[in-house]
Structure 1
Amino acid sequence: MRSVSPPQLRLLGQFRLELGTETVELCRNGQRVLAFMGLRGRVCRTVLAGTLWPDVTEEHARGSLRTTLWKLPRGEPPLIGCCGDALVVSPALHVDVHFLTRTALEVVEDRGSPCRTRPALEILTGEDLLPGWDEDWVLVERERLRQLRLHALDALAEALIRQGRPALAMEAAWAGVRAEPLRESAHRAVVSAHLAEGNISEAVRHYDAFSQLLNDELGVPPSPQFARMLPERLPARTARRGRDCQRRDLLRGWFR
């Protein structure tokens, strides 16, 4: 007997609901309800209706919610069930955001095994939550995931350096830089990876480029913690100035 794959809700990138081997098309309100429920798991009807239909009366909002729920695909168990005045997502529904969250937390808590670091890197550098959706509840969740990803990338880079894998550590560090060019911890990870390989000049060059970028954008220097990472500064810096400017301009381009 052929097993049936569980329903999949994909919220990273474009919205997609997969039931078995089929992708199910939903109306916009159906997508919004399922996305909100997929992120929260359990929500009071009044809170859900008021969040998704904030500009109408409570009665009208609850009516819109009832209509939207009725239009969702039927299944056993249903994608969204009732528990008193609360709505609950079926435990069978796999939501990709939760997998990302678990992976990121495992990395941050240093519970990931060395053999899983590369898959973790691929997961942490994936797509954003529902790009193009601009409702407040989406923006809040998107920022939460962004911060979690950034912390996980920092932790992953540090773990890879400890494992003696500086090339992969550099990938994780630069992913953090691309996501937030002014985030110092990501640049510290880049410098740490250079130092782990013995590339002192590269480490100093990167520090200089970030220092100049930080001064140009915010008028502040890097933290003393960052400066203490470097050995004695190389005295002859004129020859590096052109390359430093190129690297600084690259970082600024990502910032813009």
Structure 2
Amino acid sequence: MRLLGGLSVTCGDARLTVPPGSRRLLAFLALHPAGVDRRSAAGILWPDVGDGRAAGNLRSALWRLQRGSCPLVQAEQSVLRLTADVEVDLRRLEEWASRVLAGVPEPADLAVDPGPIADLELLPGWYDDWVLAVRQRLQLRLLHALEALSRLLQQAGRPDAAVEAMHVAVLAEPLRESGQRALIEAHQAAGDWVAARRQFDAFRSILRREIGVEPSAELRAVASATGR
């Protein structure tokens, strides 16, 4: 199941057609891998109707999903969850981020192209509160992971790749100081002192213009290594 870039489901080589009334239920379950209470799910997914109608909508959405040839949902008396063999792309991304943030990456983790990672958007065009909360958390987690990836690449002797990773993160969030610091340090690790100083000066100008503040003392200390 894909949630990044839009909801889609494949079974083997075939792409499944998910009934419109069941798409929100399927996405909701994918965002809650531990399972959800039936009553709570109905209330969250159909907040504008009464409890009885919401429960009926849930039963209808579940029935449509269970009619398909590929089982997707495990329905118990009071709990719903995706079946154990359903793979969700969001989980793979979260696992990559967890390994990178913990400093224990697999070799393939350092080969990830940071550009596509930063462009990933959870369920674009969905504006339910339960989607927005996860989307915001995911975006922040990916920025943290890109900063950690940059440090790991520097440790692996790949400063140019570290610079690339942080350029992507800074483009996504130019006012985030931790990202700017990681980019400056990556430039320094690559021996490009001019680029490091230029990046600091550009960030200081953005801060002054946008919110009227100066970079932190910590960042100024990092940048001071590039000369004044």
Q: TM-score range by the shorter chain?
A: over 0.9
> What's the secondary structure of 2:130's corresponding residue?
helix
Q: Is the 8 A contact 1:157 1:173 kept in 2?
A: yes
How many residue pairs match? The answer is: 227
Residues 223-232 or 27-36, more deviating:
223-232
**Unmatched runs of 5 consecutive residues or more in structure 2:** none
Residue 242 of structure 1 corresponds to which residue in structure 2?
none
Residue 110 of structure 1 corresponds to which residue in structure 2?
103
Residue 43 of structure 1 corresponds to which residue in structure 2?
36
Residue 177 of structure 2 corresponds to which residue in structure 1?
184
> What's the secondary structure of 1:87's corresponding residue?
strand
Matched, 1:89 2:82: yes
RMSD, matched Cα: 1.8
Residue 68 of structure 1 corresponds to which residue in structure 2?
61
Q: Report the Cα distance in structure 1 between the residues aligned to 2:143 and 2:226, rounded to whole angstroms.
A: 29
Residue correspondence of structure 1 range 81-230 to structure 2 within 5 A = 81-119=74-112, 121=114, 124-230=117-223
Aligned-residue offset at 1:28? 2.6
Residue 15 of structure 2 corresponds to which residue in structure 1?
23
**Identical residues among aligned pairs (%):** 38
Residue 51 of structure 2 corresponds to which residue in structure 1?
58
Q: Report the Cα distance in structure 1 between the residues aligned to 2:52 and 2:169, rounded to whole angstroms.
A: 45
Taking structure 2 as the reference length, the TM-score comes to 0.93
Equivalent residue letter for 1:33: L
Aligned-residue offset at 1:70? 0.7
Aligned-residue offset at 1:161? 1.1
Taking structure 1 as the reference length, the TM-score comes to 0.83
Q: Report the Cα distance in structure 1 between the residues aligned to 2:164 and 2:66, rounded to whole angstroms.
A: 41
Q: Is the 8 A contact 1:11 1:129 kept in 2?
A: yes
**Unmatched runs of 5 consecutive residues or more in structure 1:** 1-8, 236-256
Q: Is the 8 A contact 1:100 1:123 kept in 2?
A: no
